[in-house]
């Protein structure tokens, strides 16, 4: 929550007053970031596993932060799919463009 709070303050979507007056059960950042950041991928796209499951080689899960701005009717979520290996992790999405310029270049080619 601290990183998202800081980023939303930087974007001007929330301010220190929002943070000071937030409900501990529903922090100020939840207005724009109301979901988790990850889920397991397996036989089903949203495979079920406990959040306490230890990572093991061969497991794949997402890292997909996103923000939604209801007043503007927009949102964005960026997803990386990460495979756990014997030596750490491997980003299966490493060659997928993320920057606007990269995406526009592909769209215009």
pLDDT in tens, 41-74: 887 767 778 888 899 999 999 999 889 999 999 9
Out of 14-18, 62-66, 88-92, which region has the weakest mean confidence (pLDDT)? Answer: 62-66
Mean pLDDT (the chain, rounded): 91
In DSSP terms, 66 is beta-bridged to 77
State the pLDDT at residue 34: 86
Q: What percent of the chain has pLDDT over 90?
A: 70
State the pLDDT at residue 51: 81
Whole-prediction pTM = 0.73
Report the C-alpha gap between 98 and 78 in whole angstroms: 8
State the pLDDT at residue 15: 96
Query: CB-based contacts of 42: which residues, under 8 Å, 6+ apart?
Result: 60
7 touches 30 (CB < 8 A):
no
101 touches 93 (CB < 8 A):
no
């Amino acid at each position: 929550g601290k990183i998202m709070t800081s980023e939303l303050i930087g974007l001007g979507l929330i301010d220190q007053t929002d943070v000071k007056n937030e409900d501990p059960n529903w922090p100020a950042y939840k207005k724009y970031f109301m979901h988790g950041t990850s889920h397991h991928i397996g036989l089903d796209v949203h495979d079920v596993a406990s959040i306490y499951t230890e990572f093991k080689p061969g497991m794949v899960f997402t890292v997909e932060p996103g923000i939604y701005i209801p007043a503007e009717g927009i949102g964005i979520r960026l997803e990386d799919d990460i495979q756990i290996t014997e030596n750490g992790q491997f980003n299966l999405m490493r060659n997928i463009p993320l920057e606007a310029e990269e995406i526009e270049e592909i769209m215009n080619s």
